[in-house]
Amino acid sequence: MSTRILIATRSFGSTSEIPWKLLEENQSEIIQVDISKATDKELAEALQSVDAAIVGSRPITAELIAGAPRLKVICMHGVGVDHIDLGAAKAHQVIVCNCPGANADSVADLTLCLMLAVSRDLVNANASLKRGEWGRYSGKLIWQKTLGLIGMGQIGRGVVQRATGFQMRILVYDPFISSDTITEIGARAVSFEELLAESDYISLHAPATDKSHNLINADTLSKMKSTAYLINTSRGELVNEEALYHALKNRQIAGAALDVYTHEPPLRHDLINLPNVVATPHIGAHSTEAITNVSIMAAQNVISALRGEPINQVN
């Protein structure tokens, strides 16, 4: 009997036929749902009769997992799994895996892109010209400035490689990585307080956990330079958006560039509409190359797990 695999993300295989062929070669029956339109009930019904599911950012709750007796594997089409109930999956003997590193270069690219855009007031300059105006927008160089990274996973390492080309002085706060390792990649390990005080740019690359929730808040924002910029391409939960809004509106910090939000789509239009904010709709992993890499890895993850040889398992 063929295995039944649910595709519950619009990104899977959207840039390449290879991941579809991998599943077909495994004699898999592929079930698809339009996740942008599917109700919770429709998603639950789809999960009831499949062996594996490749999912995006839609929450996979304990209730959904409990209602899928045939389900053996859930694979995140990406890295973050904070929207999947890992405890429920483990209790029901469902393997959860992800695709680490497959989109790291894409997110690292966007991080530098956002730094440049917010530094040079690029979005406002572009909008002004399209209105028929010929204004002069001055900005700041990132050349030889100090970049502070909170978190040093594969994306953080990619940012270091790129920022080195701008001769940036790079500080890293990551309590889970040794100072020797940080030194080896061309950065300097510092305390959280030192990073806040010295950085011209602070870029977030930490996972969303209970400890990292609201890591950037009124207190931490008050310790940043008034000329500093905050960049977030990791998880919206790391930032207290109310505190960030007031810090930006009052010019307590110079600006922010955001690709992720506490709620997605974002509920705080007052925040993203501030003139010193550059905002994008969680597109960090959405490059052609990254989507292809993630889709291939997701297909391989599911096939391996169904064979009893799971890779990239997170629970």
CA Rg value for the chain: 21
> Alpha-carbon distance 115 to 148, whole Å?
12
Domain that holds residue 91: 3-102+288-306
> Alpha-carbon distance 303 to 24, whole Å?
11
User: Do 98 and 178 belong to one domain?
Assistant: no
Q: How many other C-beta atoms lie within 10 A of the C-beta of residue 196? A: 23
> Alpha-carbon distance 279 to 24, whole Å?
39
User: Do 111 and 82 belong to one domain?
Assistant: no
In DSSP terms, which residues pair with 95 in a beta bridge?
A: 73
User: Do 125 and 76 belong to one domain?
Assistant: no
Could you tell me the two tokens for 227? 């000329």
Residue 258 lies in a domain: yes
Give the pLDDT confidence of 45-92 residue by residue, as tens digits.
999 999 999 999 899 999 999 999 999 999 999 998 989 999 999 999
Please report, as a single letter, which amino acid is at residue 30.
I
Sheet holding 255-258, edge to edge: 188-189, 169-173, 146-150, 201-204, 229-232, 255-258, 277-279
User: Do 40 and 113 belong to one domain?
Assistant: no
User: Do 33 and 109 belong to one domain?
Assistant: no
CA 32 remoteness from chain centre? 24
User: Do 86 and 166 belong to one domain?
Assistant: no
> Alpha-carbon distance 15 to 225, whole Å?
42
Q: Specify the DSSP class assigned to residue 216.
A: B
User: Do 263 and 132 belong to one domain?
Assistant: yes
Residue 267 confidence (pLDDT): 87
User: Do 195 and 205 belong to one domain?
Assistant: yes
Question: Which positions are annotated as active-site residues?
Answer: 235, 264, 282
Q: Are 263 and 243 in contact (CB under 8 A)?
A: no
What is the SS3 assignment for 89? Answer: helix
What is the SS3 assignment for 281? Answer: coil
- Which CATH number is 87's domain given? 3.40.50.720
CA end-to-end span of the chain, whole Å? 27
Residue 299 lies in a domain: yes
Query: Where are any strands of DSSP class E within the chain?
Result: 3-8, 28-32, 52-55, 73-76, 95-97, 146-150, 169-173, 188-189, 201-204, 229-232, 255-258, 277-279
Burial class, 30, CB count within 10 angstroms (exposed 0-12 / middle 13-18 / buried 19+): middle
> Alpha-carbon distance 54 to 302, whole Å?
8
pLDDT tens for the chain, 315 residues: list them.
579 999 999 999 999 999 999 999 998 999 999 888 899 999 999 999 999 999 998 999 999 999 999 999 999 999 989 899 999 999 999 999 999 999 999 999 999 999 999 999 999 999 999 999 999 899 999 999 999 999 999 999 999 999 999 999 999 999 999 999 999 999 999 999 999 999 999 999 999 889 999 999 999 999 999 999 999 999 999 999 999 999 999 999 999 999 999 999 998 899 999 999 999 999 999 999 999 999 999 999 999 999 999 999 999
CA distances from 230 to 133, 155, 208 (A): 29, 16, 17
User: Do 245 and 172 belong to one domain?
Assistant: yes
Query: Can you list the alpha helix ranges (DSSP code H) found in 15-153?
Result: 18-25, 40-47, 62-66, 86-91, 104-119, 122-130
Give the pLDDT confidence of 126-164 residue by residue, as tens digits.
999 999 999 989 999 999 999 999 999 999 999 999 999
User: Do 261 and 149 belong to one domain?
Assistant: yes
User: Do 220 and 138 belong to one domain?
Assistant: yes
**Total count of domains within the chain:** 2
Residue 1 confidence (pLDDT): 59
* Pairing of the two strands 146-150 and 95-97: unpaired
CA distances from 99 to 75, 137, 218, 312 (A): 8, 40, 34, 7
Residue 268 confidence (pLDDT): 86
